């Protein structure tokens, strides 16, 4: 069975002090009610990876992830952060393919595939984002658009490498907008993604692949979303910047 995962994406927010404060408040709220079988991943800005990871060390089922990595292994690429660098810090997860990276930094599927390859080479699990802009949903081409994103990236991996991948479906029009896809829309996409994985890699891999939903998830709507068929958790943006709201989201998944 796929593992339940709640991942926080802090994006480019907070300085070192406020990042540590947020982590402290989150860890303080963890208690016996938190299901240890649910993986919690805090994806924090690169400068704070080590300090936040040190704070989380020893806390059951809580890990730290990066928000990006380079498509290159190493070399003269000023400002880039390689998967090897992340690995040397003990980082086990990295977000790849977020729509903000695609839109603002023009990241292509080819580049994203290389980032995924660099990550899995270092045994780092990519939280791979996919999702459609509103224009494709309005044209009723949303399923084809998202499946094509996967076919041009993670579905090109071999079976062993793909099993390290976590999929995060985030409709672009719902990210940070306050709009959430309907339960029917979410289920339709998650079922289609899992079916496509099954066709490529077989039933066992499909059943064990975690598929998360992201896009204006909050403490109010989280439980209902996590109860949708084929939803194994969430990639949480703005709501993860408030410790109490994030812990309420964590506690919403059974």
Domain boundaries, the chain: 5-250
Q: Per the residue annotation, which of 16, 98, 160, 229 is the catalytic one?
A: 98
Tens of pLDDT, residue by residue, the chain (254 residues)? 899 999 999 999 999 999 999 999 999 998 766 677 899 999 999 999 999 999 999 888 999 999 999 999 999 999 999 999 999 999 999 999 999 999 999 999 999 999 999 999 999 999 999 999 999 999 999 999 999 999 999 999 999 999 999 999 999 988 777 777 899 999 999 999 999 999 999 999 999 999 999 988 999 999 999 999 999 999 999 999 999 999 999 999 97
pTM for the whole structure: 0.96
Q: Which of 107, 111, 132, 170 is catalytic?
A: 170
Class of domain 5-250: alpha beta
**Helix H segments across the chain?**
16-29, 49-56, 83-88, 99-104, 109-121, 134-138, 142-151, 159-162, 183-201, 203-208, 222-226, 243-250
CA–CA distance, 69 with 85 (Å, rounded to integer): 9
Compute the distance between CA of residue 224 and CA of residue 45 in angstroms, rounded to an integer. Answer: 30
Give the strand pairing for 125-130 and 211-213. Answer: unpaired
Asked if 170 is an active-site residue, the reply is yes
């Amino acid at each position: 069975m796929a593992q339940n995962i709640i991942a926080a994406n802090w994006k480019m927010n907070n300085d070192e002090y406020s990042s540590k404060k947020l982590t402290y408040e989150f860890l303080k709220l963890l208690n016996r009610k938190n299901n240890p079988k649910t993986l919690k991943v805090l994806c924090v800005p690169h400068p704070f990876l080590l300090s936040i990871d040190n704070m989380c060390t020893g806390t059951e089922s809580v890990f730290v992830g990066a928000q990006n990595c380079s498509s290159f292994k190493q070399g003269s690429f000023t400002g880039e952060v390689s998967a090897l660098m992340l690995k040397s810090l003990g980082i086990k997860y990295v977000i790849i393919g977020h729509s903000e990276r695609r839109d603002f930094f023009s990241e292509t599927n080819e580049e994203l595939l290389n980032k995924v390859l660099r990550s899995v080479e270092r045994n780092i699990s990519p939280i791979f984002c996919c999702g459609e802009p509103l224009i494709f949903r309005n044209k009723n081409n949303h399923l084809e658009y998202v499946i094509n994103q996967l076919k041009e990236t993670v579905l090109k991996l071999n079976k062993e490498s793909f099993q390290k991948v976590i999929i995060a479906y985030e409709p672009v029009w719902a990210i940070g907008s306050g709009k959430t896809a309907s339960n029917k829309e979410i289920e339709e996409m998650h079922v289609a993604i899992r079916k496509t994985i099954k066709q490529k890699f077989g039933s066992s891999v499909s059943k064990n692949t975690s598929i998360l939903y992201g896009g204006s998830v909050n403490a109010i709507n989280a439980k209902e979303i996590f109860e949708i068929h084929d939803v194994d958790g969430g990639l949480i943006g703005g709501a993860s910047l408030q410790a109490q709201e994030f812990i309420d989201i964590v506690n919403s998944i059974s």
